A and B are shown apart, each in its own frame.
Chain A
Amino acid sequence: AQKVTQAQTEISVVEKEDVTLDCVYETRDTTYYLFWYKQPPSGELVFLIRRNSFDEQNEISGRYSWNFQKSTSSFNFTITASQVVDSAVYFCALSPTNQAGTALIFGKGTTLSVSS
C-alpha cells in the first residue's frame, strides 16, 4: 500500500521557535519521489521541495531544511526561527514511481500556527 502519514494534526509555536513537521511514507517501490507543499490561509498549494529516493542528502533552503531517511521512511521538514508568515497547512506527498504524470498521494497535512 502507498500511504503518507503526517501524525501531527496541529502545531502551535511562538515566533523564532524552531519547528519540525513529521512525514512518514509507505511504498513498495524502490524509486519514488517525495514532496512538501505549503497551503497558506489563502488556499493555494505552493510547491516547496522534491526529493527522489536515491538522494538522501539533507537539503537546506534559507530557514527551511529537510531530513530524508530511507531507513525510517521519513521525510521531515524543519523551519528554523519560525515567523508568522509560516502559518499554513503543510502537506507531505509521495509519487510512488518515477513515471511522469503519476498522481501524488498526499498526507492529511499539519496545520502550523505561529504566533507573535
Chain B
Amino acid sequence: EPEVTQTPSHQVTQMGQEVILRCVPISNHLYFYWYRQILGQKVEFLVSFYNNEISEKSEIFDDQFSVERPDGSNFTLKIRSTKLEDSAMYFCASSGQGRIMPQHFGDGTRLSIL
C-alpha cells in the first residue's frame, strides 16, 4: 500500500539553527499538509498546500516557517531560527482529489532543539 515517507525520523538541532524536514507524499495525491504534536499533546495543524501554494495555515505557522515542493515528489517544511519550543513530532500528510478524502500521515520526524 502506498505510504507517506518522512525523513529524517529524528533530527537534533541547536537552537537558532535552520532545519528542513522532508516528506514524500503518496504519488497521486494533490493535497499536502504539515502537522505537529508536542510531546503528550494533541496533533495541531500547521499548513496545507495545493497546486504549488499554501491553501490554509494556522496561527502557529508564522514567518519562521515555510513550505516548498521543490520537485514533483518532495514536500518540505523549513523552520528558521529554531527555538526550544519547536521541539515536537512533525507529521506530513497527503490526501487525494475529491470531497474530503482521508489524510494519510507519515511516521513523523521527531525534532529536538537543544
Contact = CB atoms under 8 A, between A and B. Distances in A.
Interface of A: 33, 35, 37, 42-47, 50, 52, 91, 93, 95, 97-109
Nearest to B44: A106
B45 A100 contact: no
Interface secondary structure of A, over-half rule: loop
Interface of B: 30-31, 33, 35, 41-45, 48, 50, 55-56, 58, 89, 91, 93, 95, 97-108, 110
Contact of B105 (A33, A47, A99, A109): A47
A93 B33 CA distance: 15
Contact of B42 (A52, A99, A102, A109): A109
Interface secondary structure of B, over-half rule: strand
B43 A45 contact: yes
A3 to B, nearest CB: 11
A106 B42 contact: yes
Contacts of B33: 103
A36 to B, nearest CB: 10
A103 B60 CA distance: 13
A4 to B, nearest CB: 9
Contacts of A42: 107
16 contacts: A42-B107, A43-B89, A43-B108, A45-B93, A45-B108, A47-B104, A50-B100, A52-B100, A91-B43, A93-B43, A100-B101, A101-B48, A101-B56, A102-B100, A104-B43, A104-B45
